[in-house]
Amino acid sequence: MDNPLFTVRGLYKIFPGANNAALEGLDLDLYEGECLLVAGSNGSGKTILMRILAGLLSPGGGTVLFRGEHLEKKLKSKHGEFRRELGIVFQDPETQFVGETVEEDAAFGPVNLGLSAAKTAERVQEGLEKTGLGGKRTCPPRHLSGGEKRRLAVAGILASGCGIIIMDEPFANLDWPGVVQVLTIIRDLKQEGKTLVILTHELEKVLALADRLVILHRGRIRDTGKPEEVLNRLRPEYGVRDPRQSYISAKDCSWLS
Ligand SMILES: Nc1ncnc2c1ncn2[C@@H]1O[C@H](COP(=O)(O)OP(=O)(O)OP(=O)(O)O)[C@@H](O)[C@H]1O
Ligand SMILES: [Mg+2]
């Protein structure tokens, strides 16, 4: 296998005053072009892991290598280069919008990276087209639906040219058409060879697109491998539900065992 994009060893994070570590000796390799699904119960450490990989939060201990180089060093010396590579779709994408219009928002990344006006316009056009937002260019981001807001966050990341995209709970608060919109984008990005990390409770929605499943529990990786194999080994204490069910009648549709 190729060298990993990220090599994480013994990653540790404890917040001041907390009784337990949020991440407790976590090891993970992330490879270029893979679609990695990270599942785990509330508070298992998914968002903290994402923030550390994205360079938004400092680890308390352990090492994070990005393309073989210490991430902290890379952020100091080549901050712009790293930002060009990795983009995040936050659980509440509304918090990441900065533009008055959809177009302006999608342009924020490329403008910040110092691209020319012509190149920015080209990237924005491409990002909005790929996410199906070409008809909403002049719309204020706050007027978009939940699914459209997530798509706009992805458009901005694409316009910045990022090849690695981390999505935190991309299906939260979406109705069925909204889930389908976001899933379609995930499928297309995967087909384009982007590296995707998806943190979610809603395994049933995206499992079919995943190359690898990681189970996080109390700040540690408890299992990782092909989704099917990990689910076959799933233990109830991890708080992750195996979504493989065949419902025949409405009465069978229950999350209670
Ligand atoms: N800023 C903070 N200060 C103190 N503790 C924090 C902070 N951020 C997160 N934590 C703690 O770290 C642990 C992991 O949080 P994290 O947000 O990563 O969980 P998660 O797996 O994303 O959960 P969820 O599924 O609810 O989104 C939790 O116990 C949380 O309370
Ligand atoms: Mg979270």
Nearest alpha carbon, ligand 1 atom 6: 15
The alpha carbon of 162 and the centre of ligand 2 are apart by a number of angstroms equal to 22
Say if 188 falls within a structural domain: yes
Say if 14 falls within a structural domain: no
- Rg of the Cα trace of the chain? 19
Q: What is the pLDDT of residue 246?
A: 80
Say if 223 falls within a structural domain: no
| Tens-level pLDDT at each residue, the chain (257 residues) | 678 999 999 999 999 999 999 999 999 999 999 999 999 999 999 999 999 999 999 999 999 999 999 999 999 988 888 888 999 999 998 888 999 999 999 999 999 888 999 999 999 999 999 899 999 999 999 999 988 999 999 999 999 989 999 999 999 988 888 889 889 999 999 999 999 999 998 999 999 999 999 999 999 999 999 999 999 999 999 999 999 988 899 988 888 87
CA distance 113 to 136: 24
215: left (phi over 0), alpha (psi -120 to 50) or beta: beta
Phi, psi (degrees; rounded to nearest 5) at 254 = -140, 145
Say if 174 falls within a structural domain: yes
Does ligand 1 have an atom closer than 6 angstroms to the CB of 219?
Answer: no
Q: Which two tokens stand for residue 168?
A: 């935190």
- Domain of 113 in residue numbering reads as 79-209
Nearest alpha carbon, ligand 1 atom 11: 22
CA distance 103 to 94: 15
The alpha carbon of 41 and the centre of ligand 2 are apart by a number of angstroms equal to 9
Q: For residue 182, give the CATH number of its domain.
A: 3.40.50.300
Say if 119 falls within a structural domain: yes
Q: Dihedral sign for Cα 237, 240, 244, 250, please.
A: positive
The alpha carbon of 24 and the centre of ligand 1 are apart by a number of angstroms equal to 13
Say if 204 falls within a structural domain: yes
Q: Which two tokens stand for residue 68?
A: 């073989």
Q: What length is written for the chain? A: 257
Q: What is the pLDDT of residue 1?
A: 61
Could you give the number of structural domains in the chain? 1
Q: What is the pLDDT of residue 81?
A: 85
The alpha carbon of 54 and the centre of ligand 2 are apart by a number of angstroms equal to 14
Ion ligand 2 contact residues with beta carbon within 5 A = 46-47
Does ligand 1 have an atom closer than 6 angstroms to the CB of 218?
Answer: no
Say if 224 falls within a structural domain: no
Nearest alpha carbon, ligand 1 atom 19: 43
Nearest alpha carbon, ligand 1 atom 28: 43
Q: What is the pLDDT of residue 247?
A: 84
Those residues whose C-beta lies under 8 Å from the C-beta of residue 28, and which sit 6 or more positions away, are 6, 8, 11, 49, 214, 221, 224
Among 13, 37, 44, residue to substitute to test ligand 1 (most atoms within 8 Å of Cβ): 44
Q: What is the pLDDT of residue 78?
A: 85
CA distance 165 to 123: 17
Q: What is the pLDDT of residue 79?
A: 84
Say if 234 falls within a structural domain: no
Bridge partner residues of 24 (DSSP): 12
